[in-house]
């Protein structure tokens, strides 16, 4: 097949003479170089994609909805235990998903270049820094995970019609969530309506 292509390209019936010619040798060298480039670029592109995929893997247990649901259920259960509270419903507003810090290797390079010309000398400082994520067992190494900030809490309780019960519920919620009392709103609910 290659012989036929060379014959058609050169118009010569002898394909081996083409490969012995200068033009044929250049063509072979170019083909080999292209093959080597394909081998070199192939694995590095897939490695870059695997690193990107690793960095984008979400942690299913720290999403805002999961934390919010767990916190809401726990608070609802505890506040429902307060004497006179009755049935309780809770709604929590979070500022974010929280913050996570991952271990990384930081590399900082500084290079000073001095150039002297007839007009004087010039100094240039180049700074380069990079940070690589530390991976353990195929996932990023988590150093610290901060709980999301609670912006506010709305509590609807059957027993909140009584000011003493309302105060107990608000105080308990503020203490449990470690937030100021002005971020907690307690409202009376309809009996049997919650």
Confidence at residue 61, expressed as pLDDT on a 0 to 100 scale: 43
What is the predicted pLDDT for the residue at 168? 92
> Do residues 157 and 121 share a domain?
no
Provide the number of structural domains found in the chain: 3
pLDDT of residue 13: 59
User: Quick check: is 107 in a domain?
Assistant: yes
Residue 142 falls inside a structural domain: no
Same domain, 31 and 90: no
Q: Residue written as tokens 């694995």? A: 43
- Same domain, residue pair 78 and 90: yes
Residue 118 in domain: yes
- Please list the pLDDT of the chain residue by residue as tens digits (194 residues): 556 665 666 666 565 666 667 777 777 788 887 887 777 776 544 444 444 444 444 444 445 577 788 888 999 999 999 998 889 999 988 887 777 788 888 888 888 888 888 778 888 888 888 888 888 788 887 787 777 788 899 999 998 898 899 999 999 999 998 899 999 999 998 766 66
**108 and 94 in one domain?**
no
Are residues 75 and 93 both part of a single domain? yes
With beta carbons less than 8 A apart as the criterion, state whether 120 and 140 touch.
no
* 9 lies in the same domain as 24: yes
Find out whether 180 and 174 touch, Cβ atoms under 8 Å: yes
**For residue 88, what is the domain's CATH number?**
3.30.300.30
Instruction: Decide: helix, strand or coil at residue 181.
Output: helix
In whole angstroms, what is the distance from residue 78 CA to residue 168 CA? 12
pLDDT of residue 114: 85
pLDDT at 47: 45
Instruction: Flag whether 193 is in a domain.
Output: no
Same domain, residue pair 89 and 178: yes
Q: Show the domain range for 179.
A: 64-98+147-188
């Amino acid at each position: 097949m290659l012989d036929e292509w060379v014959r058609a390209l050169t118009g010569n019936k002898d394909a081996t003479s083409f490969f012995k010619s200068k033009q044929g040798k250049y063509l072979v060298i170019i083909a080999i170089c292209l093959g080597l480039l394909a081998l070199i670029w192939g694995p590095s592109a897939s490695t870059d994609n695997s690193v990107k995929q690793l960095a984008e893997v979400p942690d299913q247990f720290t999403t805002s909805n999961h934390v919010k649901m767990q916190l809401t259920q726990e608070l609802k259960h505890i506040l429902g235990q307060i004497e006179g509270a009755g049935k309780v419903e809770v709604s929590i507003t979070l500022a974010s998903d929280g913050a996570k810090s991952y271990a990384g290797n930081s590399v900082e390079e500084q290079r000073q270049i001095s150039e002297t010309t007839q007009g004087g000398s010039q100094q240039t400082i180049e700074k380069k820094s990079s940070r690589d994520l530390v991976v353990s067992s195929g996932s990023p190494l988590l150093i610290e995970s901060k709980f999301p900030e609670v912006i506010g809490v709305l509590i609807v309780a059957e027993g909140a019609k009584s000011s003493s019960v309302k105060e107990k519920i608000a105080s308990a919620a503020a203490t449990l969530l470690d937030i100021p009392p002005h971020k907690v709103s307690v409202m009376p609910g309809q009996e049997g309506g919650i």
